[in-house]
Chains A and B, each alone.
Chain A
Amino acid sequence: MSSREASADLESFAAEVGSDGPVAVVGGRTHWEIGGQCPNETRLVRAPSGVRDFDPADMTIRVGAGTPVEELDAALAEAGQRANLPVAPGATVGGVLAVGRDDVHALGRGRLRDALLEAVYVADDGRLVTAGGPTVKNVSGFDLCRLLAGSLGTLGLLGEVILRTWPRPAAQQWLAGPCDPVNLRRSMYWPSSILWDGEMTWVHLEGHESDVKSEAELARSLGCEPTGGPPPLPAYRVPTGALEAGQPTGSYLVQIGTGMAYVSEPRPIPDADPAVVTLHKRLKSEFDPRGRLNPGRDPLAAR
């Protein structure tokens, strides 16, 4: 038997999911239809919510997947920490992980998928499954957590997760100006974000006060001026390759160094390699042979 015991909350979440019939988890409904619509007959459930375990000195936190990310962020802020998750108003930790969208700071802070250390999810047969482990470093068995982040709940329904946390930096600053994003990246040591809309470039700096100051000086010498924050992200996420290929319509914003861009109008993206599509189908049929978990969603179609 596993040494880890499930809480009563998780047990009742698993019971609610049960082992039959189409079922989906509702988070904050902020990205409800991403990747496709659930059929009407889908039963909706909510994941447990709340901070379970937080020892600031370990720099990990265990929370129910239904916890609002703002609540998570507030709990961590008290200890001078944060998790590498977008703090989207109304969204839940489970929803953010299931959708798998990186924060605008992925360039400097790392990817969302790397924030997830352990996940307890309900499998297609109603059993609770633990993936990963509670420590910041772990290679015990296959890395299912990476697979779950961005899976839109199609492989398992997240009940509880352990996230890695980071210190909140002492200082931060956004700057923007009409400068070349590639040159900017070449010149700066570790910007947490560089965004580019084809004309303007936004750069975010964070860290020790004197470093943010000196890097900001550098950015100014390259044509950027301090600004309040990043521009709003256009609605659809596409790989940067799609941006180069398609005819430009609407506006776009490239998240430099991450392979991601955001566009205001949906645009076709190149078809995935058939072997990649086959692997997606095989994974789905292994993890959810009856197709009952978050039916109608397709991670390959998520924008």
Chain B
Amino acid sequence: MKFRKADPLMRDLRRVLPSDRVRVAPLERSIMGRDASIFEGGRAGPVCFPISTEEVQGCVDAARRHGRAVVPRGAGTGLAGGAVPLEEPVVVVATKMNRLLSVDADQRVAWVQPGMINLDLSRALAPYGLHFAPDPSSQQVCSLGGNVGTNAGGPHCLALGVTSAHVLAAEVVLMSGESVVLGDADGWTPGLDLRGAYVGSEGMLGITTAIAVRLTRNPPAVETLLLAFDSVDAAAQTVSAVIADGIVPAAIEMMDKNIIWAVENFVGAGFPTDAAAVVIVEVDGLPGGVAAEADRVAELAVEREGSVRRATDDEERALIWKGRKSAFGAIAQIKPNYYLHDTVVPRTRLAEVMNQVYEIVDEHDLQVMNVFHAGDGNLHPLLLYDAREPGIMERVHAAGSAIIEASLAVGGVLSGEHGIGIEKRDFMPLMFGEADLDAQARLRRAFDPEEMANPGKVLPTGASCAEVNALGKVPEGVWG
């Protein structure tokens, strides 16, 4: 559909925003039709760039008057298709609301606008000796509003918890057009935990316009260990042994042979290319506990025939983390496309499920690399492929489904941090029964009775009302 100036929706939106911030150029709309997932079926309507809460309210009011859905969007780095617009909704992009509003170092709270980039916040907090704990691998580009939308995680969420544990309050524009603060920046307010229900709602309950984030003190002592193993089993067992030993490190990340090789080629982080797997363990806190835990982790690794390298200074620590965080960039050398999966399994079942992943991938004649948050059992099998190869997508999707099923079979879950979006919407019935899905639909309706915010995501068709079914139907052939 073409949007003309005379279009009544456009006329109303341009009453709210100057015309350079309501865009309908085909290029703009096509960029906004995608996120970082492989989903290609999106079609954006007018793309709005508000700079204030009032402007966001104005966009919502205009959309509602014209019976249009609204899709909130941050940086578009989501991997589940959460920000992919279906059926030409009004897209509200938060990237121009990117200011740090206030910092209270004593209360350990900062108010930020949703478009602020995750890493920019921690950089701005450095002078205070504070940081924002969730550090997704995409932290250089993803927005805090997006982090709230997906309840994002990161390597350092093992001990400290994912985004939800670090959000004290959110200012939200509901689909009624009202603005409301959920939670309280002081830390507690009587009543239901609306804040908690909102975090991770993938843009389906409202639009975040400001966030009060909890700030974490930088640890006085840090030890980073790079453990290398001859087998994936030994690596996974060491991860389980550390947890079972009563140690909750700040981070435990695992990388398997293929990705080690790719990363070494790419950045030269000094990872042993002859290892079957490496595990990065970071412990932080006060010096006594840190030293004791680092020693114990090293012991547990050696017991499983691992070799241990301890970072001797910040530079070496940074290099180890550079190796971990460049993983995605490194992959481009091998195949043009990848599909990054995200499931969680109980930590005691890691080795078993990883072995199944290798078998599944073999069966489908694909290549896989594993680089993931092992400490909380959060698997990220990365399936590599070349989309130009005929028939490849069927194999990629079949392997993906098998990985999801294998994870659920041992008591795991569909997603640890990327969310459900469109990607896993139709897998929801594998994990939840009818009554469970119905309960989630009730939460959605309590916030957004007309189901106007980001329709067609998360809840499979059938869990919700008929209109959404129509909207949520994924047209054939749109999976890239």
Interface on A for B, CB 8 Å cutoff?
1-4, 55-60, 80-81, 100, 102, 110-111, 113-114, 123, 127-131, 133-147, 149-151, 155-156, 166-168, 182, 185-186, 189-190, 207-211, 214-215, 239-241, 257-260, 269, 272-273, 275-276, 279-280, 282-283, 285-287, 299-303
Which residues of A sit under 8 angstroms from B475, Cβ to Cβ? none
Q: Name B178's closest neighbour in chain A (CB-CB).
A: A275
Which residues of B sit under 8 angstroms from A134, Cβ to Cβ? 346, 411-413
A108 to B408, CA, bound (A): 33
Interface centre among A1, A139, A147, by most chain B C-beta atoms within 10 angstroms, is A139
Interface centre among A4, A102, A276, by most chain B C-beta atoms within 10 angstroms, is A276
Which residues of A sit under 8 angstroms from B440, Cβ to Cβ? 141-142, 144
Residue B92 CB within 8 A of the other chain: no
Q: Show 27 A/B contacts (Cβ-Cβ < 8 Å), sorted by A.
A: A4-B433, A58-B346, A110-B161, A114-B165, A128-B435, A130-B436, A136-B344, A137-B376, A140-B424, A142-B200, A143-B164, A146-B199, A150-B191, A155-B192, A190-B286, A207-B285, A208-B292, A211-B286, A215-B286, A240-B188, A275-B174, A275-B180, A276-B180, A279-B180, A279-B447, A282-B446, A286-B445
A2-B431, A131-B436 known; A147 vs B196 contact (CB < 8 Å): yes
Select A110's contact among B165, B189, B192, B447, beta carbons within 8 Å. B165
Select A185's contact among B106, B150, B204, B424, beta carbons within 8 Å. B106
Which residues of B sit under 8 angstroms from A273, Cβ to Cβ? 180-181
Interface centre among B195, B286, B447, B459, by most chain A C-beta atoms within 10 angstroms, is B286
A127 to B434, CA, bound (A): 10
Q: How far is the CB of B20 from chain A (nearest CB, A)?
A: 32
Q: Once the chains bind, are B435 and A269 in contact (CB under 8 Å)?
A: no
Q: Name A209's closest neighbour in chain B (CB-CB).
A: B288
Q: How far is the CB of B407 from chain A (nearest CB, A)?
A: 9
The stretch of B8-16, B111-119, B225-233, B414-422 that contacts the partner chain: B414-422
Interface on B for A, CB 8 Å cutoff?
106-108, 150-151, 153, 157, 161-162, 164-165, 168, 174, 178-182, 184, 186-197, 199-201, 204, 217, 219-220, 240, 243-244, 246-248, 285-289, 292, 344-348, 373, 376-378, 408-409, 411-420, 424, 428-440, 442-447, 449, 458-459
A39 to B67, CA, bound (A): 43
Q: Once the chains bind, are B190 and A269 in contact (CB under 8 Å)?
A: yes
A58-B347, A208-B292, A286-B445 known; A299 vs B190 contact (CB < 8 Å): yes
Which residues of B sit under 8 angstroms from A149, Cβ to Cβ? 193, 196
A47 to B417, CA, bound (A): 32
Q: How far is the CB of A156 from chain B (nearest CB, A)?
A: 8
Q: Once the chains bind, are B247 and A189 in contact (CB under 8 Å)?
A: no
Closest 4 CB pairs of A and B: A146-B196, A259-B187, A210-B288, A2-B433
A185 to B285, CA, bound (A): 15
A189 to B409, CA, bound (A): 41
Q: Once the chains bind, are A280 and B415 in contact (CB under 8 Å)?
A: no
Select A150's contact among B161, B174, B193, beta carbons within 8 Å. B193
A114-B165, A139-B200, A185-B106 known; A147 vs B443 contact (CB < 8 Å): yes
Which residues of B sit under 8 angstroms from A207, Cβ to Cβ? 285-286, 288-289
Which residues of B sit under 8 angstroms from A272, Cβ to Cβ? 189-191
Q: Once the chains bind, are B377 and A136 in contact (CB under 8 Å)?
A: yes
Q: How far is the CB of A42 from chain B (nearest CB, A)?
A: 21
A142 to B414, CA, bound (A): 13
Select B194's contact among A110, A259, A276, A287, beta carbons within 8 Å. A276
A57-B244, A137-B344 known; A302 vs B190 contact (CB < 8 Å): yes
Which residues of A sit under 8 angstroms from B445, Cβ to Cβ? 282, 286
Apart from A139-B419, A141-B459, what are 9 other A-B pairs with CB-CB below 8 Å?
Answer: A3-B409, A59-B243, A102-B188, A110-B165, A150-B192, A185-B106, A210-B287, A211-B289, A239-B184
A138 to B197, CA, bound (A): 14
Q: How far is the CB of A215 from chain B (nearest CB, A)?
A: 7
Q: Once the chains bind, are B413 and A135 in contact (CB under 8 Å)?
A: yes
Q: Once the chains bind, are A140 and B436 in contact (CB under 8 Å)?
A: no
Q: Once the chains bind, are A141 and B191 in contact (CB under 8 Å)?
A: no
A110 to B424, CA, bound (A): 30
Which residues of A sit under 8 angstroms from B292, Cβ to Cβ? 208
A143 to B198, CA, bound (A): 8
A146 to B194, CA, bound (A): 8
Q: Once the chains bind, are B186 and A139 in contact (CB under 8 Å)?
A: no
Q: How far is the CB of B451 from chain A (nearest CB, A)?
A: 13
Select B285's contact among A137, A209, A211, beta carbons within 8 Å. A211
Q: Once the chains bind, are A190 and B217 in contact (CB under 8 Å)?
A: yes
Select A113's contact among B108, B193, B438, beta carbons within 8 Å. B193
Q: How far is the CB of A93 from chain B (nearest CB, A)?
A: 18
A129 to B165, CA, bound (A): 24
A240 to B419, CA, bound (A): 34
Q: Once the chains bind, are B186 and A239 in contact (CB under 8 Å)?
A: yes
Q: Once the chains bind, are A300 and B186 in contact (CB under 8 Å)?
A: no
A273-B180, A286-B443, A299-B191 known; A138 vs B196 contact (CB < 8 Å): no
Q: Once the chains bind, are A283 and B446 in contact (CB under 8 Å)?
A: yes
Which residues of B sit under 8 angstroms from A215, Cβ to Cβ? 286
Which residues of A sit under 8 angstroms from B377, Cβ to Cβ? 135-137
Interface centre among A114, A140, A215, by most chain B C-beta atoms within 10 angstroms, is A140
Select B197's contact among A133, A143, A185, A240, beta carbons within 8 Å. A143
Interface centre among B244, B345, B442, by most chain A C-beta atoms within 10 angstroms, is B442
Q: Once the chains bind, are A57 and B188 in contact (CB under 8 Å)?
A: no
A208 to B181, CA, bound (A): 39
Q: Once the chains bind, are B417 and A139 in contact (CB under 8 Å)?
A: yes
Which residues of B sit under 8 angstroms from A239, Cβ to Cβ? 184, 186, 188-190
Q: Once the chains bind, are A129 and B286 in contact (CB under 8 Å)?
A: no
Which residues of A sit under 8 angstroms from B449, Cβ to Cβ? 282
Q: How far is the CB of B114 from chain A (nearest CB, A)?
A: 18
A135 to B164, CA, bound (A): 16
